[in-house]
Amino acid sequence: MAKKISWCVLLMASIAATSVGCASIDQAVDCNAICTRYRDCFDEAYDVDACENRCQDMIDSDPHGADDCEACIDDRSCTEAIFPCSAECSSIVP
């Protein structure tokens, strides 16, 4: 019985660790997409690495911020994303 409980605890810990890792990967992908899109749309000299670092720092205080911004700009053209997505993206890009 103790062996079954140990395996269950180990399985639950593995699942929890994996889900946290996936969230981090998703957030990093969102940050990259947002920053690269800004560079491609508005400033070809834009520092994507610095933007990604800022974005990752912002995630600590707002875990859904990058998701919200990326979801907002995802299906819009560069010009269509400026005003409708400014609230969602202002803490990440200028």
What pLDDT sits at residue 21? 53
Candidates 31, 19, 39, 89; CA nearest to 57 is 31
- In the chain, DSSP finds a helix count (H) and a strand count (E) of 5, 0
pTM to 2 decimal places? 0.71
- The series of mean pLDDT values per 10 residues for the chain, 94 residues long, is 42 41 70 94 95 90 90 92 91 88
Rounded to an integer, what distance in angstroms lies between the CA atom of residue 71 and that of residue 4?
Answer: 42
